[in-house]
Homo-oligomer: A and B are copies of this chain.
Amino acid sequence: MAPQFSDWSREVQDEVERALGAFLPPAGAVPHKLHEAMRYTTLGGGKRVRPLLAYAAGALFGADADALARVAGAVEMIHVYSLVHDDMPCMDDDALRRGKPTVHVAYDEATALLVGDTLQAQAFQVLADSETVPPARLVKMVRLLAQAAGSSGMCGGQAIDLDSVGLVLNREELERMHQLKTGAMLRVSVVLGALAGRDLSDEELQALDTYSAAVGLAFQVVDDVLDATADSATLGKTAGKDAADNKPTYVSILGLAPSRALAEQLRRDAHDALAPFGDKAQRLRELADLIVQRKA
């Protein structure tokens, strides 16, 4: 019998923690402060949602342990770098992240800037260093990661977010922003996890895309609900910040109850998309549930 989801996810989180520890430069190597700060912000925290998605998709397509650890490490490093830079004074100016002082608070702004820059390079290195994925597929994976991280993905969404502070976005515009800002990296986590196993047919890729789009959007809707309803201690970051910053959210556009209903609908859409994969997609289904039902 397959282990319980909670046991599986804890095992993956432990494996990701171990892999990240091995992929990051040792704190004892020069330059010490940079390496120490990279480890401070990357290790010992985080829900590891992107790695969990990669492992769940990888399990479905028979990915080996090294390839999966590299995909998970790479997407998490990109995610962590984006948090470090987003928290800086010139962006969101946040002092708390994952329950700890942010990098520019614990160290200084120059270090935070460099930590993010270095983590991005390290992410591409960790992925490209794979020796078990055939080169042609690995090149495709590097390309997809770069697209998801760049101006047609995460950074583009971040730029739209910055440009929209104080504006009234409609639901379509808000959705487009989030598809780029968080959706692109969630989606690529699923696709890269699958590609760590084997090449995908167009139908398989389409099913995973539909799943990822629903999960990505659900993730953001739930984030907005939690930002409006939970406290900072539970979130491990400053709660109520979006409203304080006058940023458009699902809660501000749709209201609280409709936002919760939307998240639930998206959870069901995600399940439906996985129908072609049968029981083997159980972990991806459970992750959709986790993302919608989480409390932080």
Beyond A118-B150, A150-B118, A155-B114, whether A129 also contacts B108 by CB under 8 A is no
- A139 CA to B126 CA, complexed, in Å: 12
Number of copies: 2
User: A residues engaging B (CB < 8 A)?
Assistant: 25, 30-31, 33-35, 38, 81-82, 85, 88, 90-91, 108-114, 116-118, 120-122, 124-125, 128-129, 134-136, 138-139, 142-143, 145-147, 149-153, 155-156, 158-160, 162-163
Q: Do A139 and B150 touch (CB < 8 A)? A: no
The dominant DSSP class at the A interface is: helix
A253 to chain B, nearest CB (A): 19
- A108 CA to B162 CA, complexed, in Å: 11
Q: Do B135 and A139 touch (CB < 8 A)? A: yes
- A116 CA to B81 CA, complexed, in Å: 13
Contacts of A118 in B (CB 8 A): 150-151, 155-156, 159
Nearest chain B residue, comparing its CB with the CB of A142: B128
A162 to chain B, nearest CB (A): 6
- A226 CA to B128 CA, complexed, in Å: 38
